[in-house]
């Protein structure tokens, strides 16, 4: 054992911080019974391979779950729950903890009972589930963000946790049939006069929405799998619409009908809801695209810093409904100065991107922010910039920069900075 | 409604096959009550957003689960279960149905009780879980294949289902810390004489394995997340080793120690097990890399063709431990003629790739095969080619071309073709 002081090139990253000593090593701490004694899990048998038919997370992770906020909606049937993004890493959101939004509850619809009607075309057609499986299908990973994500923050810093401020989002690998394939099968050859597609689900709300036909023919899918397996009931089993980069309300679950129409239907879900009320009380409609956005997921109010000063991984996620994220910046001082984050992978198209800032924390307070820039050059705005354009009456499409006040004790709080 | 016969360019893909007619459409079938009557799920409320803390698949998918084969091992503590690959699509394997292999059962080890010792370096070090979270981490999607996958097929066509012949595999997005980072932190600067890394887990089996240090320093990770969330207990919570492209036995779960050594340890797991017994009774060792391989997952014995002749999607997955898959071919006649499959995405490095052959089935028997070619030019061999080199005594590293005999009634069976 070499007891000479370490040369700078060998200086240990965590030196003096939290490294437990090994008996015999230089500067060894008290012997750690977890390494000096044989532990029960190393001297007996564990569980067999038949213990669970479908595996769940270990009990120690029982707090990493979707959560709803009771005061947010009148009941849980037409409500929302939130992805625990503060506890996740990478980009894939596991279905089991991926957020849900129901307008009249999640319905149980079997493959045998499933029908998809297409009309407004030359040969109106009804497909059953087995039909869908016979068409060529594609695989794409896309984010789904609810238009109301971060919606409670318009008026101020209201919800104390990334799960609640930004958790109406998930990111899955979808396997599905292009909508254009099905429309063509039903006789739409591009000569149809109609320019819109009205889509509706099999639940009581129907959640009818109008989509420009051009978008539907471009990249929309009827998804039959998410992350490789069947959609969960709550995500639209057995088939849902995927509208890449556009607000989640358009991603109609349990999709039962698509109709080519001359104009938009102007349904409840695109007039009374899912429009953006401006300062003067008028409403912007057809604001479908989810603009570039990002959020630091750790540290954050639900993911405080539990160690002292020293090496710290700041991480979060970024996305853009316009395509790929080009860059993510992180600020520790509320937006005065910025550092460029490390992107964990090549940015995907309309998909979540994980970013990291590997830094050293001095133990002082931080006003942590992240800012996404997408491939169109669009820069995620501050809350002040967004309010200047949109006022304070909005609920939807709040993609402003989020601030977490990280205190010297490592705790974090949702705040606004001027 | 245009009642003139469809022009060829408008000929319907599923015409005359399984498309249910809409009342009023040309050639309408009997009215379908599922589209002419209001259904109960469209006239009442479904479940609220607080129904389940962590979501499971819908009950209709209750057969899409990991399964073990009772006769394969003496007990379930040291045993295997299999991913239901016949029912999955895309590339991500959800953790809940991802295969497991335990040598002394799956142990419950908390983050607080977790320690990772590194020795054989200049400054032997023990990390706790919180330490791991402070190092820069990476995200990569990799397949894990057990060396014994397809092992029962050496002697003949034994197991009737892709789940059982090829289901010792999964593919997840891992978030983890490069092993090289931790070894350097413990004082390994490349000047160490040792050329091997001995790795062992915290369970009673310890599952000790020797890995060339060069591989460990190249792309191995200590993973703390899989598909974004904590590893399941059965996959090594809270931390496992990831050894991209190499046999699953090396991916030590509940990893507790890594030691740089001069030579390999020649442990039980790399002598009596995980070596390849040749025709003359001698054993090849250090056969770590999983060679290029593929399998048709549908149709297959557990995923028969339920419709008649006409459009058919043939799909499967391909992978190579040497890097990227370059091409996948599909044969319907037991390898006499081949068609090039459509790849669902840009091939990933040491990751599962989904392929499709969108075809028209004539209703006659098929001898379905798939053949992967990787970026090194290596071509997945036939069973005869593999036996000529390796004999019949092997258990591990069977990457031969699989044949499914699809019968005119749509059922499929595991067979060998000469």
Q: Does residue A339 register a pLDDT over 80?
A: yes
Query: Residue A158 has what pLDDT?
Result: 85
Terminal Cα-to-Cα distance of chain A (whole angstroms): 55
Q: Which of A106, A134, A307 sits opposite B14 (nearest CB)?
A: A134
Q: Which residues of chain B have pLDDT under 50?
A: 1-10, 16-27
B129-155 confidence digits (pLDDT tens): 999 999 999 999 999 999 999 999 988
Complex confidence, ipTM: 0.94
**Which residues make Cβ contacts (< 8 Å) with residue B71, sequence separation at least 6?**
none
Query: Residue A250 has what pLDDT?
Result: 98
CA angle, residues A53, A59, A60, in degrees to nearest 5: 145
User: CB of B19 within 8 Å of any CB in chain A?
Assistant: yes
Q: Does residue A7 register a pLDDT over 60?
A: no
- Taking alpha carbons only, the member of B374, B416, B393, B372 closest to residue B277 is B393
Query: Residue B5 has what pLDDT?
Result: 33
Q: Which domains does chain B have, with CATH numbers?
A: 70-284 (3.90.420.10), 293-415 (2.60.40.650)
Nearest CA in chain B to A236: B58
Query: Residue A259 has what pLDDT?
Result: 98
User: CB of A182 within 8 Å of any CB in chain B?
Assistant: no
Strands A283-284 and A339-340: unpaired
Q: Taking CB atoms and an 8 Å limit, are A202 and B136 in contact across chains?
A: no
Q: Taking CB atoms and an 8 Å limit, are A49 and B80 in contact across chains?
A: yes
**Average pLDDT of the segment spanning A36-42:** 94
Q: Taking CB atoms and an 8 Å limit, are B203 and A41 in contact across chains?
A: yes
Q: Which two tokens stand for residue B105?
A: 């059962």
Interface of A with B in 376-415 (CB under 8 A): none
Query: Residue A193 has what pLDDT?
Result: 79
Q: Taking CB atoms and an 8 Å limit, are A60 and B110 in contact across chains?
A: yes
Residues counted in chain B: 418
Q: Does residue A8 register a pLDDT over 60?
A: no
Under 8 Å between Cβ of A238 and A111: yes
Residue whose token pair is 């030590």: B252
Query: Residue B13 has what pLDDT?
Result: 72
Mapped to the 3 state alphabet, what secondary structure does B332-369 carry? CECCCCCEECEECCCCCCCCCEEEEEEEEECCCCEEEE
Query: Residue B15 has what pLDDT?
Result: 52
**Average pLDDT of the segment spanning A360-381:** 98
Residues of B with CB below 8 A from A51's CB?
76, 106, 234
Q: Which of B91, B232, B310 sits opposite A139 (nearest CB)?
A: B91
- Give the integer Cα–Cα distance in Å for A359 and A332: 11
User: CB of A104 within 8 Å of any CB in chain B?
Assistant: yes
Chains A and B form CB pairs within 8 A to the count of: 404
Q: Does residue A15 register a pLDDT over 70?
A: no
User: CB of A85 within 8 Å of any CB in chain B?
Assistant: no
Residues of B with CB below 8 A from A123's CB?
6, 12, 25-26
Under 8 Å between Cβ of A157 and A300: no
Nearest chain A CA: its distance from B288 CA (Å): 24
A243-255 confidence digits (pLDDT tens): 999 999 999 999 9
Tally the C-alpha atoms within 13 A of residue B281's C-alpha that lie toward its C-beta: 0
The residue of B25, B78, B90, B352 whose CB has the most chain A CBs within 10 angstroms, and thus the best one to mutate to test that interface, is B90
Torsion of CA B49, B62, B87, B242, to 10 degrees: 70
CB atoms within 10 A of CB A38: 8
Cα distances (Å, whole numbers) of residue A46 to A67, A243, B136, B236, B260: 31, 45, 32, 12, 28
pLDDT-based confidence at residue A29 (cuts at 50, 70, 90): low
Q: Taking CB atoms and an 8 Å limit, are A94 and B175 in contact across chains?
A: no
């Amino acid at each position: 054992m070499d007891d000479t002081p370490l040369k700078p090139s060998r200086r240990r990253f965590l030196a003096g911080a939290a490294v437990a000593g090994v008996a015999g090593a230089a500067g060894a701490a008290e012997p750690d019974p977890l390494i000096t004694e044989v532990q029960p899990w190393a001297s007996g048998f564990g569980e067999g391979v038949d213990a669970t038919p479908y595996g769940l997370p270990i009990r120690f992770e029982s707090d990493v779950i979707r959560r709803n906020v009771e005061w947010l909606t009148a009941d849980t049937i037409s409500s929302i729950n939130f992805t625990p993004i503060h506890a996740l890493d990478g980009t894939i959101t596991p279905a089991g903890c991926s957020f849900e939004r129901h307008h009249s509850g999640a319905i149980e619809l079997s493959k045998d009972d499933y029908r998809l009607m297409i009309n407004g075309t030359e040969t109106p057609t009804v497909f059953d589930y087995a039909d869908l499986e016979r068409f060529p299908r594609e695989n794409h990973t896309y984010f789904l963000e609810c238009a109301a994500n971060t919606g409670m923050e318009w008026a101020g810093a209201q919800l104390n946790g990334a799960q609640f401020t930004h958790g109406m989002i998930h990111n899955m690998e979808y396997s599905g049939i292009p909508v254009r394939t099905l429309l063509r099968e039903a006789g739409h050859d591009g000569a149809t006069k109609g320019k819109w597609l009205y889509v509706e689900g099999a639940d009581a709300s129907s959640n009818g929405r109008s989509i420009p036909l051009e978008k539907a023919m471009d990249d929309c899918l009827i998804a039959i799998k998410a992350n490789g397996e069947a959609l969960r009931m709550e995500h639209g089993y057995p088939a849902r619409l995927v509208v890449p980069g556009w607000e989640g309300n358009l991603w109609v679950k349990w999709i039962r009908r698509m109709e080519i129409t001359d104009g938009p239907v102007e349904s409840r879900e695109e007039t009374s809801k899912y429009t953006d009320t401006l300062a003067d009380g008028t409403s912007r409609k057809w604001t479908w695209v989810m603009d570039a956005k990002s959020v630091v997921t750790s540290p954050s109010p639900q993911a405080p810093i539990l160690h002292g000063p020293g090496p710290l991984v700041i991480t979060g996620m970024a996305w853009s409904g316009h395509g790929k994220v080009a860059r993510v910046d992180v600020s520790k001082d509320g937006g005065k100065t910025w550092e460029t984050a490390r992107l964990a992978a090549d940015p995907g198209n309309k998909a979540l991107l994980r970013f990291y800032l590997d830094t050293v924390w001095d133990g002082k307070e931080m006003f942590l922010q992240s800012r996404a820039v997408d491939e169109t050059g669009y820069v995620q705005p501050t809350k002040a910039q967004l309010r200047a354009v949109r006022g304070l009456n909005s609920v939807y499409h709040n993609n402003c920069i989020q601030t977490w006040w990280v205190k010297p004790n490592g705790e974090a709080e949702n705040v606004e900075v001027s």
